[in-house]
Structures are given as C-alpha cells and as structure tokens.
Amino acid sequence: MAARKQLSFATCNLFNINEPGLPMYRNKEGWSQKQYEAKIEWLGNAIKTIDADVWGFQELWHRKSLTNVFKKAKLSSKYNLLAPTSHKGGKIICAGAVRKEMLVGDPEWIVDFPDEFILTDSGDDPQSPDIAVSLKSFSRPVLHFRIKPHDNSGVISVYVAHLKSKMPAQVFNEDWFNSNKTFYKRHTEGIGAALSTIRRTAEAAALRMILTEKMKGNNDPIVVIGDLNDNKKSNTLNIITGQPNYLLSGLSLGGSDVDLYSTGTLQEYRSERDVYYTHVHQNSRESLDHILVSQEFYDNSKKRVWAFKGSEIMNDHLNDEDHKDNGTTDHGIVKATFEFRPAKKLITQ
C-alpha cells in the first residue's frame, strides 16, 4: 500500500436517487427519464469536482443509479461502491464509495439498536413522571466500513448515518387520531414534530452507544459522516459528539477517548466568519450534513495521527428552486481533508 499523505471525506445526500419510473414514498410515478439524466449528470460532475477519497451517501434507492453516477464521472475504475447488489428501488439506504486501494474487508449495514440499548427512566426527582421509548432500530440503516490509507496508520472505521428528519411524522392513519379527529387535526404539526424529534434523539443515542463501544479504551480512529438532520449545536449532535472541549493552545495536549470533533467547528477556527450551511428550508439556512472525527484527527490531541487541513462546502446549487428538473440535490456537499502528521511524543526529563 502506498503511504497516502492526504485523506479526504465527503458526504452527499443524493435527494432520493432512483431509476426512472420507480415509485418513491407517495410519488408513484418516480423520476422521469429527463429528470433522471439531469440528476446523473449533475451528481457525476459534482463528485468528479470534489474528488474525495471516501464518500458517504444518503437517500440511495437503487445501486444502479449510483453506478451510473460514477460512470458519468468516469471514476468507476477508481472506487469501490458500497451498496448491496440486491438494492433495487424498494427503500432508501446509506451508501458509500472508497478508493479501491483503501477498503478493508466488507461493509455492513446496522439496522438494529444494540441489544443493551434502553431508553427508560422513572425520573430523577419526585415531580418527574416515568418515560419510556420503545424504538429498537434505525429508520435508515447505518453503513459501517473500514479503510487503511497509510501503512503507519491504524484501520479507520467509517460510519455513514442518516437520522430521522425534522419533518413532522404523519399521524393521520393512527387509531388514536381517528378516534378524535376533530381535536387532533389541530395538533398534528406539534405532535408530529415531537415524534420526529424523539425518533431522531433515540437514533442519536443508539449511534452514540455503538461509537462509544468502538472507541472506548483504544486508539482506533473513527469518522462519522452523513445527514444528521440537525445543526452542530443541537441536542442531537451533542449526544453523538459528547460535546468535546476544543483546546486553542496549539499544544498537542488535548483529545478525548470517546468524543467526536466537528470539522465544521474546526473550519471556524480557520475562518473569520461562520458561513457554513448545507440546507435551506423556508429561507432558513442550516448545517444538517456533518463530518465528525475522533481525537486521532484532532490537531490539538496528544494522539493525533491525521491533522485537519480544511473543509469545503458545495452549496451554491441550493439557490436553485427546482431541484427535480435541474438535477441538483437539496443539500450541500461537505468535504473535509486531513494530512498524515502524527503528534510528536512528549519528552519527559
């Protein structure tokens, strides 16, 4: 294996890419041939332009569609595409692409929460009523794969996630809703938003449990990339990252065994202003797409292996109002680049 000096990760929500004419959710007609070709053209050009070593994708309905994107980019021979051969339009999954010389072993898709996952509580004071959340699986299976980009670097575990969106859950078919439809029609937005938040929070906690078990007590590098459907200061992201302390001393004395560092925040330390956004909804610009890294990628960590070089956002296309006909995605594409630069070991007298 060649000793790669730089390593880049990118995340891209594919905006429900599927083969033409196949139904998606309530869209029974699916993409037209013209719309499909526009999507393949735009995504192929974007992937070729961004040129990341490791890709995480969300909202892939069909493996063939991803194959055609990389054919359009003329990159098929350079990447392993991570999507099941049986994936043919029935549901959306997270997918990936890795430069061929880097991939270690086979990918896996994590559907179920850990067996030990529990989200119940009897309250930490007499005024708090009991709470119990019975969720046991991810809405979108989490993709996990491993890479080894450098002989002197450990194997890196990459997780591609797509958490539940902020869109209010549709409750119109629930028995309790129909038992008192006149009343509940006035409250569908609030109840639906609460249900979506609870689901996303539970998924974040389950993912956090998986990551903690993977990181605790070792020096194994971890990268989490994907559409997490919340901003980097949200409770959802705080659960996943563990809210690490970003030391600004410039000394390699920091780092945390089980915390994750946002490349968005690392980029803010390199910029005069935060202009990072990856999604626009009702004129509100938010950062929903993230690349999170363990202490082995954090500049100020005493266990640093890869140093942060910078983050780039492709988001000009978010100004387009018609993503369907233009072929654009409805999310920005985020890329983060690192270079192989292990921290110097402290010399003790």
**Over the stretch 148-200, which tens digit does the pLDDT of each residue have?**
998 888 899 999 999 998 889 999 999 999 999 999 999 999 999 999 999 99
Report, as an integer, the average pLDDT of 112-140: 93
- Separation CA 82–CA 158 (nearest Å): 12
Note whether 112 and 136 are within 8 A (CB): yes
Q: Is the pLDDT of residue 308 over 80?
A: yes
Report, as an integer, the average pLDDT of 223-244: 92
The answer to whether residue 211 sits within a structural domain is no
Confidence band for 27, pLDDT divided at 50, 70 and 90: confident
What's the pLDDT score for residue 270? 72
Q: Write 188-192 long-range contacts (CB < 8 A, 24+).
A: 192/167, 192/168
Report, as an integer, the average pLDDT of 107-125: 94
Tokens of 175: 């028995």
What's the pLDDT score for residue 244? 86
What's the pLDDT score for residue 345? 65
Q: Is the pLDDT of residue 89 over 50?
A: yes
Q: Is the pLDDT of residue 209 over 90?
A: yes
Chain segment 262-288, per-residue pLDDT in tens: 888 888 877 655 556 555 555 556 678
What's the pLDDT score for residue 4? 76
Confidence band for 97, pLDDT divided at 50, 70 and 90: very high
The answer to whether residue 184 sits within a structural domain is no
Report, as an integer, the average pLDDT of 285-300: 88
The answer to whether residue 1 sits within a structural domain is no
Q: Is the pLDDT of residue 324 over 70?
A: yes
Report, as an integer, the average pLDDT of 74-96: 96
The answer to whether residue 215 sits within a structural domain is no
Q: Is the pLDDT of residue 249 over 80?
A: no
What's the pLDDT score for residue 155? 95
Q: Is the pLDDT of residue 252 over 80?
A: no
Strands of the chain (E only): list them. Answer: 6-17, 54-62, 79-82, 88-99, 103-112, 120-121, 131-132, 137-147, 156-162, 222-227, 261-262, 279-281, 284-286, 289-293, 306-314, 333-340
Name which residue leads in pLDDT, 16 or 256: 16
Note whether 314 and 333 are within 8 A (CB): yes
- Domain at 332, CATH number: 3.60.10.10
Q: Is the pLDDT of residue 32 over 60?
A: yes
What's the pLDDT score for residue 225? 97
Confidence band for 347, pLDDT divided at 50, 70 and 90: very low
Q: How many domains does the chain have?
A: 1
Confidence band for 48, pLDDT divided at 50, 70 and 90: very high
* Mean model confidence pLDDT for the chain: 89
Cβ neighbours of residue 336 under 8 Å, at least 6 residues apart? 8, 9, 10, 263, 266, 291, 293, 308, 310, 311, 312
Residues of the domain holding 39: 6-110+142-164+223-340
The answer to whether residue 347 sits within a structural domain is no
Q: Is the pLDDT of residue 348 over 80?
A: no
The answer to whether residue 178 sits within a structural domain is no
What's the pLDDT score for residue 349? 31
Closest CA to 15 of 38, 49, 33, 34: 38
The answer to whether residue 209 sits within a structural domain is no
The answer to whether residue 171 sits within a structural domain is no
